[in-house]
Amino acid sequence: MSVNENEFFRQATLHLCSSLDIGKAMQRCLRFIEAFMPVSWMSLYLYEEETGRLFNLATVSRRGSVPPLPPIALPKEAIIQIEGEFAKWQEVKIVDSPEHDAVSRTVYQQTGKANISLLVMRLVIEDKRLGALTVIAEEKNGYRRSHAELLGLLRKPFDIAVSNAVRYMEMVKLKDMLDAENRELNRALFHRSTDDVMGADTGLKGVMEMVRQVAPLDSPAMLLGETGVGKEVIANVIHYSSPRQNGPFIKVNCGAIPETLFDSELFGHEKGAFTGAVALKRGYFERAHAGSLFLDEIGELPLQAQVRLLRVLQTKEVNRVGGSRPIPVDVRIITATHQNLEAMIKTRQFREDLWFRLNIFPITIPPLRHRKADIPTLFHHFLQKKARELGIHHLPQVTATAIQRLQAYPWPGNVRELENLVERTLIRSQGRDANGLSEIESLSGFEPAPPLSSPDDPDPAVLALDLAMAEHIRRVLRMTKGKIYGPGGAAELLDINPNTLRSRMRKLSIPFGRV
pLDDT digits (tens, 9 = 90+) for 437-460: 554 555 544 544 444 444 444 444
Residue 171 lies in a domain: no
Together in a domain, 359 and 306 = yes
Query: What pLDDT, on a 0 to 100 scale, did the predictor assign at position 315?
Result: 93
The band of 474, judged by pLDDT with boundaries at 50, 70 and 90, is confident
SS3 for 138?
coil
Together in a domain, 233 and 102 = no
Average pLDDT of the residues in 37-51:
83
What's the CATH number where 103 sits?
Answer: 3.30.450.40
Question: Is the Cα dihedral 198, 201, 207, 213 positive or negative?
Answer: positive
The band of 349, judged by pLDDT with boundaries at 50, 70 and 90, is very high
Average pLDDT of the residues in 486-514:
79
Average pLDDT of the residues in 314-325:
89
Residue 100 lies in a domain: yes
Residue 184 neighbours by CB distance under 10 Å: 10
Q: How many helices (H) and strands (E) does the chain have?
A: 20, 16
* Beta strands at 117-125 and 327-328: parallel, antiparallel or unpaired: unpaired
The band of 90, judged by pLDDT with boundaries at 50, 70 and 90, is low
What's the CATH number where 393 sits?
Answer: 1.10.8.60
Per-chain mean pLDDT for the chain: 81
Average pLDDT of the residues in 146-173:
84
Indicate the range of 180-189, 268-277, 296-305 predicted with least confidence: 180-189
Average pLDDT of the residues in 3-16:
89
Together in a domain, 354 and 224 = yes
Together in a domain, 265 and 346 = yes
Does pTM top 0.75 for this prediction? no
- Considering 133-142, 347-356, 391-400, 415-424, the range whose residues carry the highest mean pLDDT is 347-356
Residue 396 lies in a domain: yes
Together in a domain, 29 and 102 = yes
Together in a domain, 146 and 65 = yes
Average pLDDT of the residues in 368-375:
89
Query: What pLDDT, on a 0 to 100 scale, did the predictor assign at position 461?
Result: 42
Write out the residue range of the structural domain in which residue 326 sits. Answer: 196-366
Query: Over the stretch 13-30, which tens digit does the pLDDT of each residue have?
Result: 998 888 878 888 888 999
Average pLDDT of the residues in 473-496:
81
Residue 173 lies in a domain: no
Query: What pLDDT, on a 0 to 100 scale, did the predictor assign at position 127?
Result: 65
Q: How far apart are CA 350 and CA 303, in angstroms?
A: 7
Evaluate if residue 432 carries a pLDDT over 70. Answer: no
Query: What pLDDT, on a 0 to 100 scale, did the predictor assign at position 114?
Result: 67
Is the separation of the CB atoms in 338 and 344 below 8 Å?
A: no
Number of domains within the chain: 3
What's the CATH number where 215 sits?
Answer: 3.40.50.300
Together in a domain, 377 and 357 = no
Tell me the percentage of the chain whose pLDDT exceeds 90: 25
Q: Classify the phi-psi angles of 347: left when phi > 0, otherwise alpha if psi is within -120 to 50, otherwise beta.
A: alpha
Together in a domain, 135 and 102 = yes
The larger pLDDT score, comparing residue 288 to residue 65, is at: 288
Strands (E), 83-199: 93-95, 117-125, 129-137
Together in a domain, 250 and 298 = yes
Indicate the range of 4-13, 130-139, 168-177 predicted with least confidence: 168-177
Query: What pLDDT, on a 0 to 100 scale, did the predictor assign at position 444?
Result: 42
Give the end of a domain, one of 366, 397, 423: 366
Together in a domain, 338 and 433 = no
The band of 365, judged by pLDDT with boundaries at 50, 70 and 90, is very high
Average pLDDT of the residues in 370-374:
89
Give the end of a domain, one of 321, 345, 366: 366
Give the end of a domain, one of 150, 166, 182: 166
Residue 343 lies in a domain: yes
Query: What pLDDT, on a 0 to 100 scale, did the predictor assign at position 436?
Result: 45
Is the separation of the CB atoms in 86 and 130 below 8 Å?
A: yes
Q: How far apart are CA 135 and CA 123, in angstroms?
A: 13
The band of 89, judged by pLDDT with boundaries at 50, 70 and 90, is low
Together in a domain, 260 and 150 = no
Together in a domain, 233 and 253 = yes
Residue 49 lies in a domain: yes
Residue 175 lies in a domain: no
Query: Over the stretch 327-342, which tens digit does the pLDDT of each residue have?
Result: 999 999 999 999 999 9
Q: How far apart are CA 368 and CA 371, in angstroms?
A: 5
- Considering 139-153, 218-232, 384-398, 459-473, the range whose residues carry the highest mean pLDDT is 218-232
Query: Over the stretch 212-243, which tens digit does the pLDDT of each residue have?
Result: 999 999 999 999 999 999 899 999 999 988 99
Query: What pLDDT, on a 0 to 100 scale, did the predictor assign at position 457?
Result: 46
Residue 202 lies in a domain: yes
Q: How far apart are CA 21 and CA 23, in angstroms?
A: 5
